[in-house]
Amino acid sequence: MEKLNIYIADDDLDDRDFFMEALNDISIKTEVSQFNNGVDLMDRLFSDDILPNVIFLDLYMPIMDGFECLIDIRNFKKFNNIYIIAYSSIYRDREVNQLKEDGANQFLKKSSSLKELKKILLKSLEQVPIKNKKVALRDEFVVLI
């Protein structure tokens, strides 16, 4: 299997490092680009010829948060095949329902346990469609908490 091209947008460096540690320990091969805000993520999306397979969006970031990024990404047809996983340490039904309506494919609740995070990431990334398969928007929304 080829590497999954992943973008992670999270303003918390410790959370990104923890996330990377978990990703490096799972069986799925990945290539990861990290961003500390939504503006940099969006700039990269518009400037890259090769789009990511999946984007992990932290919901609460300064400058441009995950909710705003999600809406912007889903407003451009060229990004329709990107699988989007929103995540946060806070779970609120209303927000998760809004994420589904706005076109996210999954919601993950951040874990402080490396073992738990690895399990969640593996389960989450197994849902990402294989290359050239259309991402089902607003179908099969997955919540992993």
Total tally of structural domains belonging to the chain: 1
Which distant-in-sequence residues (6+ apart) come within 8 Å of 140 by Cβ? Answer: 105, 127
Q: Residue 73 CB: number of other CB atoms within 10 A?
A: 22
Find, among 53, 85, 81, the residue nearest to 69 by Cα.
Answer: 85
What pLDDT digit, counting tens, does each position of 9-38 carry? 999 999 999 999 999 999 888 999 999 999
Secondary structure (DSSP) of 67-92: HHHHHHHHT-GGGTT-EEEEEES---
Q: What is the pTM of this model?
A: 0.89
CATH of the domain at 79: 3.40.50.2300
Quote the domain boundaries for residue 126.
Answer: 4-144
What pLDDT digit, counting tens, does each position of 81-135 carry? 899 999 998 888 999 999 999 999 999 998 899 999 999 999 889 888 765 445 5
Find, among 102, 103, 99, 120, the residue nearest to 18 by Cα.
Answer: 120
pLDDT at 42: 96
